[in-house]
Amino acid sequence: MIQLTKMNGHECLLNHALIEVIEESPDTCITLSNGNRYLVLESAEEIREKIIAFHVEILQRAGTTPATTPFTK
């Protein structure tokens, strides 16, 4: 799960595996596969980086080095 900030300033944890679409127009709107939609302060690129960082952390905890994974640049 990734931590995001709702438009009212409250932080929330979002299950990134359910993200279907992220749109910026100009607010960032996340649509989940279950149809729920969320407006957040983070940009699409920031969300992408948070998802990558989450996957890297999981792999590190599992003992896999991020340099050998497709999630690093």
Report how far residue 24's alpha carbon sits from residue 38's, in angstroms, rounded to the nearest whole number.
12
The domain total for the chain is: 1
Domain span at residue 58? 2-68
Confidence of residue 65 (pLDDT cuts 50, 70, 90): low
Both structure tokens of 10: 């409250």
Confidence of residue 51 (pLDDT cuts 50, 70, 90): very high
In-domain check, residue 39? yes
* Segment 24-53 mean pLDDT: 97
In-domain check, residue 17? yes
In-domain check, residue 18? yes
**pTM of structure:** 0.83
